């Protein structure tokens, strides 16, 4: 389709090592196109002065967070053009120079990112430090790591029931009134309860042996190796039996298996 133009931008490569100023490369690539698209504008009498001729659709291959960053930059450039056209800003003025408005604008987009991210991932959005402040910070990187950890836990251990609820609500799963077996009832075997306890105990004992050293270093080393090996082996068994531990959806999967 000649009306659709695709522009690829390697976000990870271009902005690695906190080089987020390189997002300007992408903006420069689409500047001419954005000017051609324009925006919709009417006067107080209802006369159409300008019509919008196109839209941008930005998609990150693995998350919404980077998509929101790009959309906020495109929106700011479009808004600046509109404010200049209406005389709110002079032609040489930029939104970045209006500190109070710039702060409100960035927070609005960051709050929008958090609201969307909580729906699909269970936490606030990543990289909102850039959206709120215009730059990446060490605290922002730490918070991204924390949110990513929470997302990993929720995705693996608590999202299955939520997906089942959505499938039931949307009609993706039809209840069979003649089937008295509850598809949500899942009996866990001994591995589900035993292996995590053994791993936690073994890892804790390994740490205790390191902190409270024995009479000789060989004795300490023997204890550390024993409990360390036990924790590693138990962790390996948990990974090997991963499907028994994750909270996977049951309703739609059951229909596919049938």
Where are the alpha helices (H) located in 9-121, listed in sequence order?
Answer: 11-14, 23-37, 65-85, 99-120
Tokens 């924390």, residue located? 146
**Packed helices 23-37 and 65-85: angle between N→C axes, nearest 10 degrees:** 50
Distance between CA atoms of 212 and 202, rounded to whole angstroms? Answer: 15
168: pLDDT strictly greater than 70: yes
pTM over 0.95: no
17: pLDDT strictly greater than 90: no
Tell me the per-residue pLDDT of 203-239, one tens digit each, with 9 for 90 and over. Answer: 998 888 888 776 777 888 888 889 889 999 998 988 8
50 pairs with which residues across the strands?
Answer: 41
pLDDT score for 255: 46
The whole-number average pLDDT for the span 122-142 is: 85
pLDDT score for 258: 47
Tell me the per-residue pLDDT of 52-104, one tens digit each, with 9 for 90 and over. Answer: 999 998 887 666 678 888 888 899 999 999 999 888 988 888 888 888 998 99
Tell me the two tokens of residue 104: 């409100």
Check: CB of residue 79 under 8 Å from CB of residue 34.
no
Domain segments of the chain: what residues?
A: 11-147, 159-257
């Amino acid at each position: 389709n000649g009306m659709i133009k695709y522009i690829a931008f390697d976000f990870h490569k271009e902005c690695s090592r906190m080089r987020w100023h390189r997002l300007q490369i992408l903006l420069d690539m689409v500047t001419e196109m954005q000017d051609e698209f324009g925006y919709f504008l009417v006067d107080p009498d209802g006369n159409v002065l300008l019509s919008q001729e196109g839209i941008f659709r930005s998609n990150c291959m693995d998350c919404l967070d980077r998509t929101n960053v790009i959309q906020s930059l495109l929106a700011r450039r479009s808004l600046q053009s509109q404010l200049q056209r209406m005389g709110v800003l002079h032609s040489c003025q930029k939104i970045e120079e209006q500190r109070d408005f710039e702060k409100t604008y960035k927070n609005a987009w960051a709050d929008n990112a958090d609201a969307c991210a909580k729906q699909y991932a269970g936490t606030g959005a990543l990289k909102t430090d850039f959206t709120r402040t215009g730059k990446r910070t060490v605290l922002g990187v730490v918070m991204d790591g924390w949110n990513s950890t929470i997302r990993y836990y929720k995705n693996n251990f608590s999202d299955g029931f939520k997906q089942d609820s959505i499938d039931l609500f949307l009609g993706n799963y039809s209840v069979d009134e003649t089937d008295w077996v509850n598809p949500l009832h899942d009996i866990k075997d001994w591995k589900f309860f035993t292996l995590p306890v053994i791993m936690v105990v073994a890892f804790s004992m390994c740490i205790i042996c390191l902190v409270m050293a024995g009479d000789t270093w060989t004795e300490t080393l023997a204890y550390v190796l024993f409990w360390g090996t036990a924790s590693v082996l138990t962790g390996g068994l948990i990974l090997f039996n991963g499907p028994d531990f994750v909270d996977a959806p049951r309703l739609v999967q059951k229909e596919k298996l049938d």
